[in-house]
Amino acid sequence: MKKKRIIPCLDVRDGRVVKGVNFKNLGDVDSPVSLAAKYSDAGADELVFYDITASAEGRKIFTDILAEAARNVFIPLTVGGGISSLSDFERVLNCGADKVSVNSGAIRDPSLIPEAAKRYGDQCVVISADVKRVGDGYRVFAKGGREDTGLEAIEWIRRCVGSGAGEVVVNSMDADGVKGGFDLPLLTLVCGAVSVPVIASGGAGTVQHFIDLFRKVPDVDAGLAASVFHFGEIEIRDLKRDLSAAGVPVRI
Amino acid sequence: MVTIIDYGVGNLFSLVSSFAYIGEETKIESDPDAVRRAEKLVLPGVGAFGDAAEKLRATGLGEAVTEAAGRGAPLLGICLGMQLLFEKSYEYGEHRGLGLIKGEIRPIADVIPEGYLIPHMGWNDLVLTGLGERCPIFKNTKTGDHVYFVHSFYAAGCESNVAATAEYGAPLTAAVMSDGENVFGTQFHPEKSGDVGLGMLRAFAEL
């Protein structure tokens, strides 16, 4: 039986893992390479490396770190942040990434997803959407959550999947960093709209939040979190044991 | 020393890294003569069957692999590399494979119930068959161990060569071993399957 995945996300800037609250107030955490190995040993099912540097030097440091992690950790690695062209795909795939997640890049250039899917396969292309409730609906935000694109979120995600994205990361900006639980209504909407795996991101604060996620949105494939793992508030080994005890199929 | 066949399909970074991690040297090889003489071979691959089969034919590497396997060299096909070991595939048309194992590659949509996502992507647990229990690359592996899959097609009509299956609405072929017991294939990615996968690569390297 296929298992639900637990995915720690490592936001990397200047060679360090950082984590903020509501996309601001970034704080320093640890070396990405040692953290990646620690999570893999603890039973993480996959890792996301997110490049939040903007400079060219920062990008070089990031790819070096990615390669170093990929030489020591043998679970799937997804890389995102600053992916805006096929050459960005090439750059991170050559350093050990298995999947590449696109966000603002896909908004700027609608041909990025179909072209990447054609060259590397759908399974390699992940659409990551920063979603925030605006009025009665949900909108997609770009540039690390700073810019309202005006795009209706569910429609946008559906379009990305239709053009070749093989997986969706839904990051609820309303839930992110405040540790009040995953955004279950939003995730239910997305799961109902697409037929590719959906990864829930934003809002994890306790083990119970993960149990609620997989019980109340049974179609969701994975739960992603950062700070609760980085700061040791939830140990992955304990989380997976508790999920299993609650009847959620996980790899132990 | 494990020779990894390079025919321009897929990314070899993780495969090379995982063998390096367990202390096994690798050589990436695109010369058919070197492949023909290799001690142990890995046939990797992601992407479409037709393109990959054509590249193997055009480069002469397909013939070289077949020869090496014919003289008994251990050969491990991974993911699309496993599918290429079979006689033919029905992925976008009909394509001929290497024919080292009897059977064919069909869409998983043919056998799994509705509501299951395609591709079959993620961690699933292995069920070893009787053949799998004595398969040398599984000497560190047992039923219930988890491995990482990403595939939309599966090997069918190869019952007597199935070493392991994974349940995804139907028992899908997860690993195979040839009648000569020197050709192995895994539908999953051992190089992405944590300690379980490394254990298989170690067993293969020790053959």
Chain B hits for A197, Cβ within 8 Å: 117, 121-122
Asked if this assembly's ipTM is beyond 0.85, the reply is: yes
Q: A44: Cβ–Cβ under 8 A, 6 or more apart, which residues?
A: A6, A7, A8, A75, A236
C-alpha distances out from residue A167 to A152, A212, A220, B45, Å: 18, 21, 11, 21
CA angle A202, A205, A210 (to 5 degrees): 75
CATH number at residue B43: 3.40.50.880
Predicted pLDDT at A167: 96
Among B117, B143, B147, B201, pick the best mutation site for testing chain A contact (most A Cβ within 10 A).
B117
CB atoms closer than 10 angstroms to residue B72: 11
Q: What pLDDT, on a 0 to 100 scale, did the predictor assign at position A28?
A: 60
In whole angstroms, what separates CA B168 from the centre of its chain?
Answer: 19
Residue type, B90: Y
Give the pLDDT confidence score for residue A126 in this predicted structure. Answer: 97
How confident is the model over B173-188, as pLDDT tens digits?
Answer: 999 999 999 999 999 9
Confidence (pLDDT) at A242: 98
**Contact state of B46 with A121 under an 8 Å Cβ cutoff:** yes
Q: How far apart are CA B36 and CA B59, in angstroms?
A: 13
For residue B190, whether the previous peptide bond is cis, meaning omega lies within 30 degrees of 0, is no
Instruction: Report the number of distinct structural domains present in chain B.
Output: 1
Query: Which residues of B does the annotation mark as catalytic?
Result: 79, 189, 191
Domain that holds residue B157: 2-94+103-205
Give the per-residue pLDDT at B118.
87
Find the residue in A nearest to B146 (Cα). A251
Helices and strands in chain B, H and E counts:
7, 13
Which residues of chain A fall short of a pLDDT of 70? 19-29, 54
For β-strands B26-29 and B2-5, DSSP reports them as parallel
Widest distance between CA atoms in chain A: 46
Cβ-Cβ pairs closer than 8 A, A with B, add up to 76
CATH of domain A5-245: 3.20.20.70
User: B78: which strand partners?
Assistant: B186
Give A40 to chain B, closest Cα distance, Å.
Answer: 8
The pLDDT assigned to A59 comes to 86
In this structure, are residues A34 and A210 in contact, taking their beta carbons and an 8 Å threshold?
Answer: no
d(CA A196, nearest CA chain B) in Å: 6
Give every residue of chain B whose pLDDT is below 50, as ranges.
none
